[in-house]
Amino acid sequence: MYPAPFEYHRASSAEDAVALLGKYGDEAKLIAGGHSLLPLMKLRFAQPRHLIDVRRIPGLSGIREEKGSLWVGAATPHAVVATSALVQATLPMLAEAAGQIGDPQVRNLGTLGGSLAHADPSADLPAVALALSAELVALGPRGVRTLQADAFFLDLMTTALGQGELLTEVRFPKPEAGSAGAYEKYPHPASRYAVVGVAAQLTLVQGKVTKARVAVTGLGTKAQRAAAVETALVGKAADEATFGAAAQRATEGLKLRSDAQMPEAYRRALAVTVAKRALARAASRAAG
Ligand SMILES: Cc1cc2nc3c(=O)[nH]c(=O)nc-3n(C[C@H](O)[C@H](O)[C@H](O)COP(=O)(O)OP(=O)(O)OC[C@H]3O[C@@H](n4cnc5c(N)ncnc54)[C@H](O)[C@@H]3O)c2cc1C
């Protein structure tokens, strides 16, 4: 099916994109890689009258290191994140998650900001943003504001971004000594979206887990922290027994979806297996 007719605008700057959003209001949608929005438009689930293209805005894509953090522009394609030597060395979890998204076409066009703003319940990067304590920078009619990943994902494809706001960059704090993370997923065989994905960031001191941030995707209506797993890890020896016991709690306290493709019990079982793998790999990286 063809999308409904729309007018195309190429924003020349972040400020221009925000001005266009203000001008066209509810009738406007930002477009970056188009790999989530265009399928919705073709099905006519979305019918924006004005499309504001942000992909070529100078300065909206790229990766830099500054003030103890990695800054990734919102329009940076997944392929660039996945292959960046800086990301691979500093935040391997982010690189490996970006590298597992879809196929090369999706990774070449789809963007970090588009994925986070779209907040698909089976997307990989929202879980990674939660585990890595990412901060999301948005520009809107009232200026710049910074949103913590923990407060960003509200519900199914719903975020804390306001109507007139553009995500400009995402800040990932560099991990402290003894910390590392890993992302594991069980991909859907057709789309590669996460049936279950687990992002785990661990800090180890003398063989014990002192800090843990674990987030899951694919299970419910949004990516969420697996608080019970985190609690089960902190203060314990970083060994297989601890990871096995913690992974058993992967879905504790979380609301799961159940659909024709996959009953809830299957998702729960899968989450335990995927969580155990993510924890073991994160710990092995953190141990150096
Ligand atoms: C076949 C296929 C397989 C896929 N497999 C996976 C997968 O395995 N894992 C996965 O995580 N994803 C997967 N995706 C989704 C892919 O990662 C998308 O690229 C991503 O979800 C959206 O990024 P985009 O740049 O294409 O956004 P777009 O489609 O351009 O936009 C998506 C939404 O975000 C908004 N938006 C875009 N940029 C901004 C911004 N800077 N600020 C505010 N709002 C913005 C748009 O208005 C729109 O509402 C797949 C997609 C396809 C088509």
- Between CA 10 and CA 137, with CA 159 as vertex, the angle to 5 degrees is 60
Given the CA of residue 165, which atom of ligand 1 is nearest to it?
A: 43
31 Cα: distance to centroid of ligand 1 (angstroms): 9
124 Cα: distance to centroid of ligand 1 (angstroms): 11
Task: Tell me the best of 20, 31, 52 to mutate to test the pocket of ligand 1, counting ligand atoms within 8 Å of each CB and taking the most.
Answer: 31
Question: For the chain, which ranges sit under pLDDT 70?
Answer: none
Q: Is the CB of 36 under 6 A from ligand 1?
A: yes
Q: Is the CB of 28 under 6 A from ligand 1?
A: no
pLDDT on residue 38? 96
pLDDT on residue 14? 98
Distance CA 163, CA 176 (A): 35
Residue 205: closest CA among 229, 161, 236 = 236
Please report which helix (H) or strand (E) contains residue 207, including its range.
none
pLDDT on residue 257? 82
Given the CA of residue 192, which atom of ligand 1 is nearest to it?
A: 8
**H helices present in 99-176, as ranges:** 104-109, 112-118, 125-131
252 Cα: distance to centroid of ligand 1 (angstroms): 29
Q: Is the CB of 218 under 6 A from ligand 1?
A: no
Dihedral sign for Cα 280, 282, 286, 288, please. positive
Largest Cα–Cα distance in the chain?
61
Q: Is the CB of 51 under 6 A from ligand 1?
A: no
Which residue reads 């997307």 in tokens?
123
The DSSP output letter for 257 is P
pTM: 0.97
Phi and psi based region of residue 68 (left: phi greater than 0; alpha: psi -120 to 50; beta: remaining):
left
Q: Is the CB of 84 under 6 A from ligand 1?
A: no
